[in-house]
Each structure stands twice: as C-alpha cells, then as structure tokens.
Amino acid sequence: MREKKGLKADYVILGGGIAGMRAAIELAAAGSVLVLTKGDVHESNSQQAQGGIAAALADDDEVSLHYQDTLRAGDGLCSEQAVQMLVGQGPREIQRLIEWGMKFDRDGNKLAFTREGAHSRSRVLHAHGDSTGAQTMRALIAKARHLSGIEIRSHAFALDILMEGGAVTGVLYLDEKQGTVHSLSARSVLLATGGLGQVYQETTNPAVATGDGVALAYRAGALLSDLEFIQFHPTALFVKGAPRFLLSEALRGEGGILRNILLERFMPRYHEAGELAPRDVVSRSIVMEMQKTRSEFVYLDLTGLDAEHVKKRFPTIYSTCLQNNLDITQDLIPVRPAAHYSMGGVASDLDGATSVAGLYAAGEVAATGVHGANRLASNSLLEGLVFGARAAAAMTRPPCPASFPAPPRNEAVPCSAQQSTDPAALAPPEKLIALVRSVLWSKAGILRNGRDLSDAVKKLETLGLGPEIPPQRRAYEAMNVLTVGRLIARCALARRESRGAHYRTELPLKDDSRPPSHSYVRKGGGVFFAPSLPAPATASQSISRGR
C-alpha cells in the first residue's frame, strides 16, 4: 500500500477513551490535536465501564482513606506518589467533569455513592445506574467537540510510531475507510490506547482491546513494566456462546452474594470482607470453588435484594441478562472470572513520559505503578482523568524521556516477542489470535505455575503470522496480540512469587526477602526487576491550565 505523507498535527493522541479525551481537552489551547481511534469513537473500555469512578467526596470519606485502600489492594507494589496524585487530584477532576456536563446519580441534591470491593467507604460515583463510562465519555466528547483545535478521526489504526534519532516524530497509520496508509508528523504522541483483554480467551473487554499501545511502544524500543499483573474480574456472565458480559462489582456492593453450584455462600470462608474482598481474592476463590465442585461457574445471587431497586440501579445489566433469558431479580446468575484490566503496560512517570523522548502514555496502557499488583475497583476511570490531564500538560513542554532503572549487567536471555521460530506454525490473523488467546487463558490465567508458564512461552515463540501478511487492521492486531501475549507469559514466568493478581500455585507467598519490585522488559532485552518506578521531574507542578 502506498504511503501518503505531509499530514501534520502538534499533538497526536492514539485512543479516544477517557485518558485520550481528557488529554485532548487539556491540550486544545496549546496547539492542534488529532485524536486517532482505531474503531468508532464509542468503542472503548471506558465507554463500557459500569461500576463507576472512585473519589473521596462523600461526607464520611477522606483522601487518606482512599489512599490507604488503594495501597492495600495493590499488595505492596503501588507507587506511593502515583497513588497520592490519583486520590489527591481525583476530586478536582470529578468537579471539572460535572462542570462539563457530567450527570452523576444523586440522592436528592447530594451525589450518590456505592461501595465496591476493598473500599473502606462508599465512594464510587455512578451515572444512569450502570452506564458510568458511557455517560463520562458523552460529557468528555461533547466538551472536546466544542473546542477548536481538536479533530477526532475514527477508523484510523496506528501501525507504528515514527522515530528519528531515538525521538518520536509522528505516527504511521492506516485509514481503514480509504484503505490508505498515512505518515503523520507530530511534536509528541500520547498512547491512550486502553487495555489488552483480548489477549485472553475470556474477557470483559471489547473487541478493540488488543494491546496495540503496548505493542507499538515495544516496537519503538520503550520500556514496559509489570505486564504479568492481569486483573480478572470475578463476575462475567457465563452463558455458553455469549460474550463474557461484565456484571459490575457494584452488584455485590449493593448486597449481591456469591454461591457455589451447591448453593453454599463461600466468600466468608476465604476473606473477612466476604464478597467485597479485593478483586484478586474473589476471582481466585471462585476458581477454587469451581474446581472443588467440578463446575464451570458459580452463581451471583441478587434475589435477596429489592427487585425494583435492582432494575432501577442496574438497567443495562438487567436488560442484557433478560436477553439471555435471565431475570436477575429472580434467577441465580451463572458467572465466572474473565480478564478485565492490565495493571502493567508502558513504563511511564507521573507525567506520562516514557523512556522514549516524545512518547507519552496515560490510562490503562500506562504503567505508573498506581495500581501496584492489583487495581482497586473503580480507580481506572479516575486514573484516565488525572493522568490524561497530567500527560497533556507535560506534552506542551520540550520532550524529555523519563529515566527508569537500568537492566543489570548480567541481563537474562533476551526475549523475542515478535518473530516466529517455526515456519510451519504460521497462521492467518483470526487463527493466530485464537491460538494466543487459548494459550494465555489456559497457561497464564488466574492460577498459574512455572511449568505452564514455561510451556506458554515456548508455544508462543513458535507462533507467527503468515505466510502472507495482508495490510489490514486485523493482521496488525494479530501481531500485537502475539507480541503482548509473549511478553505477559515471559514476565509471569520471571516473577517467582505470588503477589496481587499474579498467583503461582507452586509459589503461593510473596517474596519478602527483597523489596517489592516491578518487572521491566524492552525489545532486545530480558525481563529484569527493580524496586520502584522513578519520581517525576515535575511531580509538584500543578495542572491548572484550562481549569
């Protein structure tokens, strides 16, 4: 396909979810902003978010409590500074969102809050009951469309980051509607590409969540971090043949109970917080109950709740389940965990700077250390707002790569995350994606062990795309899924302990013999560990512009 040159923008944002749109709004006053979304602008994890946005705004709440809950859920691996920024700047971001037209649910005049797992207070804001993401995106997109200087281009799929002399100069992208490839130059590029759940066979994520940002950053030579930490949401609807529709944690926050197929309530046996234990604990407990009872699912039981309240509070969940012949006010709902969120991603400082000059990351694709080894429920939309705004502010300054820990001298064997070693194992895009997803689900899932992870690494090494690679989005997605799958398996094998969402059955404890460490990996290098991500150069700077 011929490449068209000459396109230019001051700032390019890849991804139109919450982090990307928040960043675009912040950047609008500083220059021309082009937001590229691979699908329709409404296709994103942010759009589908149900539960809500956590922020310490309730009368009985404090920022310090939100801080402590986030650190506790992160299981010793959170960057304390990142968490301070998140919980400290979060309430101001919520206020701004309200000024831009966001309508959170209220009890009378007051904001309504719900409780979710591992929160010590009811602090989760929601909108239209269970459509918080869609309502947030509606407010952000409307605000962005009002600002001159922001262009949103959909069906524009980023193929590669363009570089010169080690710094970013723009993006190469495929215009799917025209069938043309464009090279677009820019002062800086923000990765706000969201999640990677599609690397797993069972996921709550939409089809667009193929880990593109992580793969693009990897190919550009950026450092990646903590990719072994995949959060599995405990309650995805389990109906054979249907997608794993998310059943919000807020259902348990409102009193929903988990039962095994013998109808026994089991969570109190695993954790004192019962159904509202941290998400990693609930997911593991469900898998253990499934194994014990030889079942493929457990039940979520809402039948003890007021039926009218359930219908009003969760209208989308109610109607979606009804389409699957389940009345959630009367029937037990079959559920099981599914891949939901990636705590790791592109190593980024608190201003979104990555190890590559001019390349920034915010939202799920970024690894600032804010979530540690397990994200606290409903902290991710807040992350998109806070760190989207911070990254945008940083992008207006001269590009400067963040500094991260260097690999040790005796670095482990380099990991090849791109090439196949066996020409016979080359597969067309759909088949390759299915193979990767199956390997990750069966060997690098909720309960892992060294033997399976090692098998996964070997199997994924042999896979590849071919024999012809069509110049189509799906082919590039397949390459990205393979790259990300290989990296997750490598990092999970290298982490020889259990911590947060990474649970190895043969190593069930945390390694307390050394400080909690983040994993790092980059193209051409092996996985290495280092204690913590760096403090930002500009951590104390305000992001007041545009307020």
Which residues sit at the interface with ligand SIN, rule CB under 6 A? Answer: 49-51, 248-250, 341, 377-378, 380
CB of 437 to ligand SIN, least distance (A): 20
Q: Which is nearer to ligand SIN, 73 or 189 (CB)?
A: 73
Residue 330 CB-density burial (10 A; 0-12 exposed, 13-18 middle, 19+ buried): exposed
Q: Which helix (H) or strand (E) holds 312?
A: helix 307-313
Contacts of 236 (CB under 8 A, 6+ apart): 202, 203, 204, 244, 245, 246, 247, 335, 336, 337, 338, 340
Q: At 342, list the tokens.
A: 């990636």
CA distance 252 to 240: 23
Residue nearest to ligand SIN (CB): 51
Angle at the Cα of 108 from the Cα atoms of 102 and 114, rounded to 5 degrees: 65
Closer CB to ligand SIN, 67 or 245, in the complex: 245
Closest CB to ligand SIN among residues 73, 220: 73
Helix extents (H) in 30-186: 45-48, 63-73, 80-99, 132-146
Cβ neighbours for 547, distance < 8 A, ≥ 6 positions apart: 96
Nearest approach, Cβ of 534 to ligand SIN (angstroms)? Answer: 26
162, 183 in Cβ contact below 8 A?
yes
Q: Which of 102, 8, 108, 96 is nearest to 46 (CA)?
A: 102
Identify the sign of the CA torsion 377, 378, 384, 390.
Answer: negative
Q: Which is nearer to ligand SIN, 190 or 338 (CB)?
A: 338
- The CB-of-146 to ligand SIN minimum distance in angstroms stands at 28
Q: Name the residue nearer to ligand SIN (CB basis): 222 or 246.
A: 246
At 526, is the secondary structure helix, strand, or coil?
coil
Active site residue 279: yes
Question: What minimum distance in Å lies between the beta carbon of 310 and ligand SIN?
Answer: 15
What's the closest the beta carbon of residue 253 comes to ligand SIN, in angstroms? 9
Rounded Cα distance, 478 and 475, in Å: 5
For ligand SIN, the closer of residues 49 and 239 by Cβ is: 49
Catalytic residue among 138, 187, 244, 279: 279
Burial readout 110-133 (b: 16 or more C-beta within 10 A, e: otherwise)? ebbbbbbbbbebebbbbbebbbbb
CA distance 356 to 375: 26
Q: How far is the CB of 119 from ligand SIN (least distance, A)?
A: 11
Residues noted as catalytic: 279
